[in-house]
Amino acid sequence: MGTAQSTAGSPGPDAGSPRPGPPALAPGAAVDPGDATPDAALPGDTSTPGTSLPEDALVLGMDVGGTTMKGEITDAAGMVLTAAVTATPQGEAAFEAMGALGDRLLAELTMEQRGRVARAAVLLPGIVDHVRSIAVFSSNVGWRDVHIGDRFIERWHMPVLIEHDVAVAGWAEWRYGAGRDHDNVCVVILGTGISGTLSVGGRLVRSEYGQTGEYGHIPVRHADGLRCPCGNIGCVETVASGASIARAYSRRTGAETDSAADVFALLDTDPDAKAVVDDAISALADGLLGIIHAACPQLIILGGGLAGAGAALTEPLHRTIAERLRIVPAPRVVLGEFGARAGLAGAALFARRGALT
């Protein structure tokens, strides 16, 4: 802790050029720097939505997951000054843990460094109303309609942006990772669940309430599929998520399997493993076909834990998609550049840029 290290894959301060987009500053973030404590003076005008920070500013980024929450304070070059990880408590107690994690990160800085921390970004799972600063719902963590408001702003004495974790991770991969220099990109985050983002014509597509792509809940096995926790039958997630692949292999063989990675490791020697993975890739391809026909993305970027399978996932997925397309060209399927760090890297970039532009 406290030892600076380079963030792999993090772009420098000049990476990319901003595109116009909607403001995403959390309500209440317009804090007068004069109200901050003396050792937390804010450099530059950080209160205007969408304003990029000066290059000497530091940012606090936090990525909250169902099991752990991770935080870092970084500079404009992506250098990590301090980092920490803590368990995510269930329910509203998670928000006190977020506050304490931020306190811990800030306390590890020198007074001079603390005075340069200009903005924070906190990424939350589930359904997030970033405009009204409300954590609407998370089934994994167990909160509902938690009004975040100014709690972090008042605690850390700086503007704090609140956003959806996948929205920011997908935006970071598109703008600064594997999708940079492309205007039409679909990012798919594959893990316990499946979700992602879609960028069309150089803009991130979002619903009125801020959601991005719930790709995992596109039904693809209507007649004989498994029931999804969402209530539907045969969603992509019931076949192609990491947990579903592991469960399918166990059902097929009777062997206990800890993870999808174990199943992918058996592809060359175990016909049952190959059958399960082929089925998952087929379901994922079916789920993406409608998106491809509607938006014609140039790239499909795979992120999340399942993307660790590498070419064993990207190559057959591209091949399967290409076999099923007749009218539109098959997009390239590539791995994300930020990997498991997409959330943290995205939080830092979001805090620095001030908006998902």
**What three-state secondary structure class fits 47?**
coil
**What is this structure's pTM?**
0.82
Q: Return the pLDDT at 14.
A: 33
Q: Which stretch, 6-20, 37-51, 225-239, has highest mean pLDDT? A: 225-239
Distance of CA 205 to the CA centre of its chain: 15
Q: Return the pLDDT at 47.
A: 52
Query: pLDDT digit string (tens) for 49-90?
Result: 578 899 999 999 999 988 899 999 999 999 999 999 999 999
pLDDT for residue 208 is more than 70 = yes
pLDDT for residue 167 is more than 90 = yes
> Does residue 188 contact residue 301 with C-beta atoms inside 8 Å?
yes
> Does residue 9 contact residue 314 with C-beta atoms inside 8 Å?
no
166-187 core/surface letters (b: 16 or more CB in 10 A; e: else): bbbbbbbbbbbbbbeebebbbb
DSSP letters spanning 189-255: EESSSEEEEEEETTEE---TTS--B-GGGSB--TTTPPBPTTS-BSBTHHHHSHHHHHHHHHHHH--
The four Cα atoms 3, 51, 189, 305 give a dihedral, to 10 degrees, of 0
Q: Return the pLDDT at 49.
A: 54
pLDDT for residue 197 is more than 90 = yes
DSSP letters spanning 119-130: EEEEEESSEEET
Query: pLDDT digit string (tens) for 107-151?
Result: 999 999 999 999 999 999 988 998 889 999 887 788 999 999 999
Give the contacts of 346 (CB within 8 A, at least 6 positions apart): 61, 63, 123, 168, 169, 171, 172, 173, 338
Of residues 36, 104, 40, 43, the one with CA closest to residue 70: 104
Of residues 122, 133, 138, the one with CA closest to residue 66: 138
Query: pLDDT digit string (tens) for 251-278?
Result: 999 999 989 999 999 999 999 999 999 9
Query: pLDDT digit string (tens) for 15-43?
Result: 333 333 333 333 333 333 333 333 333 44
The more confident residue out of 222 and 268 is 268
User: Lowest mean pLDDT: which of 200-204, 303-307, 313-317?
Assistant: 303-307
For the chain, percent of residues with pLDDT exceeding 90:
73
Query: pLDDT digit string (tens) for 292-302?
Result: 999 999 999 99
Q: Return the pLDDT at 81.
A: 97
Q: Return the pLDDT at 48.
A: 57
Long-range CB pairs of 198-203, under 8 A, 24+ apart, other chains included: 198/291, 198/295, 198/297, 199/171, 199/174, 199/297, 200/295, 200/297, 202/19, 203/19, 203/21
